[in-house]
């Protein structure tokens, strides 16, 4: 499940903020590998241009996005606006279930654990809450896919370097691109690098930054400041299966005239373990309860 497209966004910001923030959280990344000049004939297929390679990778990622390749349990370390959290996530066919383990490096106290237990139990026992979970997951996936589909049309790509099977491309906005939505307008002001695994045709990383201010509604709806950046890294966690393992977002600006935007988010996803494809929410809750007991015993 390619959560770097669905992107785990725990907060549900107001609409105006989400319109500005979501492209940064939905698409992005890093890896500066090597400094050797790379010719087009070295791309993994003779004569393949940088734009063609980028389009091939986008098509391949969308193919895997639409295939169900299994579910995972993993650890999430998250820092948002200076607030650190550790969570464990378990994926199911209806969405992901999470349990908070610590805040600011400190394990939850009795009151906080009780609140987490009640939240999880409410979700497991309430069909209406389950529908909300599934709808939210589907909405994020659709939004991510919609934006990712236009990636190869938004930018002009050039070869930069190569290290083994990993090829780095630089990108800049295409002057002919017409953004289909307010979200997509952010791409017109972005430059960055994309790292691809040419052997498997997969996206290993993408990193971008704003080269100028981005204004929405002539600035009335808000703007994002020049210099804002975001990164996402994807790693092969099992043969042929890639998952998002790192996320960084650092964006500043204004929303609705006066509201300050200060989005600073860092995530690390690790310790991936496969779970059954038909895992229910109740079974996922039992796994999470076991994780809590293990944490309490450490």
Q: Flag the least confident range among 35-44, 207-216, 249-258.
A: 35-44
What is the pLDDT at residue 185?
80
Name the band, by pLDDT with cuts 50, 70 and 90, for residue 138.
Answer: confident
What is the pLDDT at residue 3?
52
Q: If phi over 0 gives left and psi between -120 and 50 gives alpha, with beta otherwise, what is residue 54?
A: alpha
Please check the confidence at residue 9 and state whether its pLDDT lies above 50.
no
Q: What angle do CA 88, 83, 147 make, to 5 degrees?
A: 70
What is the pLDDT at residue 177?
86
Residue 266 in 3-state DSSP?
strand
Residue 273 CA to residue 75 CA, distance in Å, equals: 10
Burial of 62 (0-12, 13-18, 19+ CB in 10 A): middle
Residue 112 pairs in a beta bridge with none
Residue 246 CA to residue 249 CA, distance in Å, equals: 10
Query: Strand pairing of 259-275 and 166-173?
Result: unpaired
> Which residues, including other chains, have CB under 8 Å from residue 119's CB and lie 6 or more apart?
none
Contact 51, 63 (CB under 8 A): no
Nearest residue to 271 via CA among 248, 294, 296, 297: 294
The count of other CB atoms within 10 Å of the CB of residue 57 is: 25
Burial of 104 (0-12, 13-18, 19+ CB in 10 A): exposed
Residue 206 parent element (H or E): strand 202-210
Residue 207 in 3-state DSSP?
strand
What is the pLDDT at residue 136?
77
Task: Quick: pLDDT tens for 59-116.
Answer: 888 888 766 678 999 999 999 888 999 999 999 888 889 999 999 999 999 999 999 9
Contact 187, 218 (CB under 8 A): no
Burial of 15 (0-12, 13-18, 19+ CB in 10 A): exposed
**Highest-scoring range by mean pLDDT, 59-63, 219-223, 229-233:** 229-233
Residue 241 pairs in a beta bridge with 238
Residue 117 CA to residue 125 CA, distance in Å, equals: 12
What is the pLDDT at residue 32?
26
């Amino acid at each position: 499940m390619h959560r770097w497209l669905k992107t785990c966004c725990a907060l549900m910001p107001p609409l105006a903020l989400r319109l500005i923030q979501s492209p940064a959280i939905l698409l992005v990344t890093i890896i500066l590998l090597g400094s050797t000049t790379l010719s087009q004939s070295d791309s993994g297929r003779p004569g393949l241009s940088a734009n063609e390679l980028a389009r091939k990778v986008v098509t391949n990622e969308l193919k895997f996005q639409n295939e169900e390749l299994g579910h995972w349990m993993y650890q999430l370390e998250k820092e948002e606006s200076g607030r650190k959290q550790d969570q464990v996530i378990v994926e199911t066919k209806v969405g992901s279930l999470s349990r908070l383990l610590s805040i600011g490096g400190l394990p939850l106290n009795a009151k906080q654990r009780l609140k987490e237990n009640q939240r999880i139990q409410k979700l497991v026992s309430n069909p209406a809450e389950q529908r909300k979970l599934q709808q939210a997951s589907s909405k994020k996936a659709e939004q991510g896919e919609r934006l990712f589909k236009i990636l190869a049309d938004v930018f002009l790509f050039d070869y930069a370097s190569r290290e083994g099977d990993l090829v780095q491309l630089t990108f800049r906005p295409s002057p002919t691109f017409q953004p289909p939505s307010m979200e997509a307008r952010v791409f017109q002001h972005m430059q960055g690098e994309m790292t691809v695994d040419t052997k498997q045709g997969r996206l290993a990383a993408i990193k971008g930054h704003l080269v100028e201010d981005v204004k929405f509604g002539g600035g009335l709806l808000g703007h994002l400041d020049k210099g804002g950046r975001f990164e996402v890294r994807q790693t092969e966690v099992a043969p042929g299966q890639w998952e998002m393992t790192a996320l960084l977002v650092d964006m500043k600006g204004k929303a609705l005239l006066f509201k300050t935007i200060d989005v600073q988010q860092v995530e690390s996803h690790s310790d991936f373990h496969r779970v059954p494809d038909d895992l229910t929410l109740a079974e996922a809750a039992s796994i999470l309860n076991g994780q809590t007991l293990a944490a309490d015993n450490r």
